[in-house]
């Protein structure tokens, strides 16, 4: 796998998997992060993640290059929309995130144990970036995601994006 960093600091990863004994399919995955579980599940995290596989047979090699080309070609537009979304997060002020944090429980973004962590991370971020905006809240949630298993992260990330997008519209 390899990582790409955009001018605004967002990192994307691309991973490729195959097996020498043809026991698992050849695949390419791209997203904000690429994960491989101990059971060899292979996926990308983020709303713009892309995943494609091809059964690994003796005739699959000619199909792999176009498969990689198609995934990489689709990444540009998807990643551009993600960069635009993060820019909106950074430019939308947020003084009191409490209602959004509480609503995140109903939306399945976090559990009760992460409520305090998200609020504390919003008030005093672990990472250096602007404060009191939706980007800070997004980072607070993703910091809380570190306490979850990797399997639940794609759905939690999607639920977080839906929640923040809906609330941004009410602030604008």
pLDDT at 134 over 70: yes
pLDDT at 121 over 90: yes
Q: Cα-atom radius of gyration of the chain, to the nearest Å?
A: 18
140, containing H or E segment: helix 134-145
Interatomic CA distance for residues 40 and 100, integer angstroms:
35
Which pLDDT score, from 0 to 100, does residue 25 have? 75
pLDDT digits (tens, 9 = 90+) for 8-47: 566 777 777 777 777 777 777 877 777 766 666 666 666 5
Query: Which two tokens mark 44?
Result: 């990308």
Which pLDDT score, from 0 to 100, does residue 159 have? 93
Which pLDDT score, from 0 to 100, does residue 18 have? 73
Task: Provide, rounded to the nearest whole percent, the portion of the chain with pLDDT above 90.
Answer: 33
What is the signed CA dihedral for 57, 58, 59, 65, rounded to 10 degrees?
80
Q: Which of 12-16, 37-41, 97-101, 112-116 has the lowest mean pLDDT?
A: 37-41
Helices and strands in the chain: count of H runs, count of E runs: 5, 6
Q: Are 135 and 125 in contact (CB under 8 A)?
A: no
Nearest partner of 162 among 47, 18, 30, judged by Cα? 47
Who has greater pLDDT, 84 or 104? 104
Q: Are 125 and 131 in contact (CB under 8 A)?
A: yes
Query: Which two tokens mark 128?
Result: 């250096």
Q: Are 15 and 30 in contact (CB under 8 A)?
A: yes
């Amino acid at each position: 796998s390899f990582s790409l960093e955009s001018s605004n600091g967002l990192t994307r990863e691309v991973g490729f998997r195959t097996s020498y004994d043809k026991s698992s399919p050849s695949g390419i995955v791209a997203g904000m992060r690429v994960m491989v579980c101990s059971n060899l599940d292979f996926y990308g995290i983020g709303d713009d993640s892309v995943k494609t596989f091809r059964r690994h047979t003796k005739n699959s090699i000619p199909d792999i290059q176009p498969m990689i080309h198609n995934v990489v070609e689709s990444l540009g537009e998807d990643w551009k929309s993600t960069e635009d979304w993060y820019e909106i997060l950074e430019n939308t002020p947020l003084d009191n995130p409490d209602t959004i944090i509480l609503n995140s429980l109903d939306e399945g973004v976090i559990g009760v144990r992460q409520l305090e962590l998200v609020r504390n991370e919003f008030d005093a971020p672990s990472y250096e970036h602007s404060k009191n905006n939706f980007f800070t809240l997004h980072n607070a949630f993703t910091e809380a995601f570190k306490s979850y298993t990797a399997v639940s992260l794609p759905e939690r990330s999607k639920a977080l994006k839906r929640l923040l997008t809906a609330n941004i519209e009410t602030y604008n």
